[in-house]
Chains A and B, each alone.
Chain A
Amino acid sequence: MEKRVLFKGWILPLVLIAPQVLISAVFFFYPAAQAIWQSLFIPDPFGLSSKFVGLGNFEFLLGDPFYRASFVTTAVFSILVTLCSMIPALFLAVIADRLIKGSGVYRTMLIWPYAVAPAVAGVLWLFMFNTRVGVVSWYLGRLGYDWNHVLNGGEAMGLVVIASAWGRISYNFLFFFAALQSVPRSVIEAAAIDGAQFWRRFFTIVLPLITPTAFFLLVVNVVYAFFETFGVIHTITAGGPQQSTTILVYKVFSDGFVGQDLGSSSAQSVILLVVVGLLTVIQFKYIEKRVHY
């Protein structure tokens, strides 16, 4: 039986939700409205003049095959980043959960990469994979593989995915680890007595019980891949080679803050807003149904 508190009148409830509404208004609704308004104009960079173009910016964007291609790039990138950051994190959390001695040390060390800023992480990975002086590319060269992410789009994508997912593994690890700790031992022990092996117990008992956490992480990681990875991309590939790592949000940044094309940049952020909105609806409508709370 759910417990509900009922208020009399409207004043108190309004006052109670006011702070949240205010914050949303100032940091979300106002900027979003501004973006929508600006997407209808082509302004000059200095804000001296502005030309109304209606949906011209959207026409310009959607008529550009490179922009349409960047939807696919974004999808590939987000899926890869999400998988590459969640699966290893879950694996590490399961292993760490079984440790009896020294788990504190492992935990601390696994959490460390999260403290590295995305742009710094980008530079670190860039050094390791530098086509001429990088350690990893040197070893790959000795194995007979010629690593060249400055010309090979697939390798560039792989590199930005690794660099983006790496720091994220720590974050996901932390949540998975906490979730695993909350799985009741008695259930696992009962299964063990019934003769279920470790992986069998994991897939039939543990995994379903931690789906709320996994779902939360899925949403958060997709949002991360969409919005917070442009520092990594900027330092490693700047969207290249041939736009093979230009994801939507990186294009918003480079058109707006490098190219000074604020109209196109605003239109792109509106499109991004719609895309992420749709994605969230899909996630909550279809995937959440499979989550056991």
Chain B
Amino acid sequence: MKKHMLGLAAVTLALTPIAAAAQTEIQFWHAFTGRLGELVAAQVDNFNASQSDYTVVQSHKGNYSETLNAGIAAFRAQEQPHILMVFEVGTATMMAAKGAIRPVYEVMAESGASFDPDAYIGAVKGYYTTTDGDMLSLPFNSSTPVLWVNRDAFEAAGVDPDMDLSTWENVGEALDALKAGGEDCPLVTAWQSWIHLENFSAYHNVPFASKDNGFAGLDTELMLNGPAQVAHLSAMQDWAKDGKFIYTGRRNEGGANFRSGECALFTESSAGYAGIKAEAEFNFEVRPLPYWKALVDEPQNTIIGGASLWVMSGHESGDYKGVGEFLSYLSSTEVQAQWHQDTGYLPITTAAGDATRASGFYDENPGTDVAVIQMTAKQPTANSKGLRLGSFDQIRGIIDEELEAIWAGDKTAQEAMDSAKARGDALLRRFEAANR
């Protein structure tokens, strides 16, 4: 770490004479590599070229968890960047760190950059906004789970690929038919807790945790052992037992199985688009995430995953004007629409979505708007605004363990979720104690 810092310092020193003396440097730490990393670098270059007062320096700090850790370690050493990318799971941690961050709405107001919180899509904005409506961090990359369909696999198993898959009841029938038709991998999933519990709860308008999913206070408790969640997981357990749902791992391991054409159905983030489009050698299709007809007449909205940008405190006040301008640039319609079309992430402003529609992108790439419609069809409720739970990374680990117990048949869905609640609540109490 220290060596790294020295290296960084050396590079900065070496570059200083080239940059104009009057420019203020803005450090921006993010978690993107590969294609996404290139796109971020391009955004930063364009911003730097567009004005001469500030230079944004972007650096990649590892995956989401590592980036957050790097930011925290840097803050402790008083070397923190101006802007830090934090995944949605770390939101409560950042919010609780009042002395370490500067709320985005405040930074924007002081910098005088144009900023209209109402321009953002409700379900995206809600995740990063206080109950008073103040936006604390800037939504950057957001996605939501959808159902990916391998049409060729349906046809090979003698199942009509155009059949209605909007409800889990229908999906259940499809799984039976696929299995009977000789399909070895009817259904896989990525991010099981995010899709089959967190989003499931929002989509069926049932709470995942008390106190408005943690938005209204640190004294929140998990409520993921309710009848709706248990019913869904029990059905999944039966499918797993019959070999209709194949468990491949806690993260997005299932993506490899789906992209290779091995699996018929795949619940995964809408941001899987780029990868599936690049690799899949079969006809695929995006469908909305299914819901249980037995539980609700029509689904609520799904919630987001992804990251937002947090402004860290402790820099000179002049720097924050530049931060405000950069964030304002990032959320401009043009930049956002391009980002949405390049990556499959959601457009974070309504205007960016409209611009994309007007450009004919959705007509040329059918299915890319499914996620947008799914997120925006309804006004979010207290159950579907998002989640704000401390130690959430660890709680997800606990949920993963308990879900594995369900898939392996070691526990019933009710037993596993009761246990997840008890274990998760213990961590929530610790987080409450640490941040009171």
Binding site for B on A (CB under 8 A): 42-49, 51, 53, 60, 64, 66, 131-133, 150-152, 238-243, 254-255, 257-261, 263-264
Contact = CB atoms under 8 A, between A and B. Distances in A.
B247 A150 contact: yes
Contacts of B410: 242
Nearest to A255: B394
Given A48-B97, A150-B247, A241 B408 contact: yes
A132 B257 contact: yes
B250 A51 contact: no
Contact of B436 (A51, A243, A254, A258): A51
Contacts of A45: 72, 93, 97
Given A46-B75, A240-B250, A260-B391, A151 B93 contact: no
B100 A42 contact: no
Nearest to A257: B69
Contact of B426 (A64, A257, A258): A64
A261 B72 CA distance: 12
Contacts of B435: 44, 49
Contacts, number: 95
Contact of B405 (A44, A242, A255): A242
A151 B249 CA distance: 8
A152 B391 CA distance: 27
Contact of A240 (B72, B393, B400): B400
Interface string B69-101: 100100110000000000000000100111110
Interface string B266-301: 000000000000000000000000000000000000
A239 B97 CA distance: 29
A46 B99 contact: yes
Contacts of B430: 42, 60, 261, 263-264
B401 A260 contact: no
A150 B249 contact: yes
A46 B434 contact: no
A60 B434 contact: no
Nearest to A65: B423
A75 to B, nearest CB: 20
20 contacts: A42-B430, A46-B75, A46-B76, A48-B98, A51-B434, A51-B436, A53-B433, A60-B430, A66-B423, A132-B248, A132-B256, A150-B247, A150-B253, A151-B404, A238-B397, A240-B400, A241-B408, A242-B402, A260-B393, A261-B391
B227 to A, nearest CB: 24
Contacts of B262: 132
B407 interface: yes
Contacts of A150: 247-249, 253, 404
Given A42-B434, A48-B98, 10 more contacts: A43-B434, A45-B72, A51-B434, A150-B247, A150-B404, A151-B247, A152-B408, A240-B401, A263-B430, A263-B434
A184 B250 CA distance: 55
Interface in B106-123: none
A258 B427 CA distance: 13
B343 interface: no
Given A240-B401, A257-B69, A46 B100 contact: yes
Contacts of B426: 60, 64
Contact of B72 (A46, A51, A53): A46
A138 to B, nearest CB: 13
Given A42-B433, A51-B434, A150-B249, A242 B401 contact: yes
Which of A45, A47, A48: most chain B Cβ within 10 A? A45
A109 to B, nearest CB: 32
Given A44-B96, A47-B76, A60-B426, A242 B391 contact: no
Interface residues of B, number: 39
Report, nearest first, the 8 A-B pairs whose CB atoms are least far apart.
Answer: A259-B394, A241-B404, A46-B100, A42-B434, A151-B408, A48-B99, A46-B97, A242-B401
A66 B72 CA distance: 28
A260 B72 contact: yes
Contacts of B433: 42, 51, 53
B65 interface: yes
Interface in B352-411: 391, 393-394, 397, 400-402, 404-405, 407-408, 410
A131 B407 CA distance: 15
A243 B423 CA distance: 13
Contacts of A238: 250, 397
Contact of A258 (B97, B250, B393): B393
Nearest to A152: B408
Given A42-B434, A242-B410, A258-B65, A133 B256 contact: yes
A60 B76 CA distance: 26
Contacts of B96: 44
A66 to B, nearest CB: 7
Nearest to A243: B401
B197 to A, nearest CB: 16
Contacts of A255: 394
A43 B423 CA distance: 20
Nearest to A56: B433
B404 A242 contact: yes
Contact of A44 (B65, B69, B97): B97
Contacts of A131: 248
A86 B155 CA distance: 54
A42 B429 CA distance: 11
Contacts of A242: 401-402, 404-405, 408, 410
A264 B256 CA distance: 36
Which of B100, B250, B430: most chain A Cβ within 10 A? B430
Contacts of B391: 259-261
Interface in B414-436: 423, 426-427, 430, 433-436
Nearest to A131: B248
A241 to B, nearest CB: 4
A254 B401 CA distance: 14
Nearest to A241: B404
Contacts of A46: 72, 75-76, 97, 99-100
Contacts of B434: 42-44, 49, 51, 261, 263
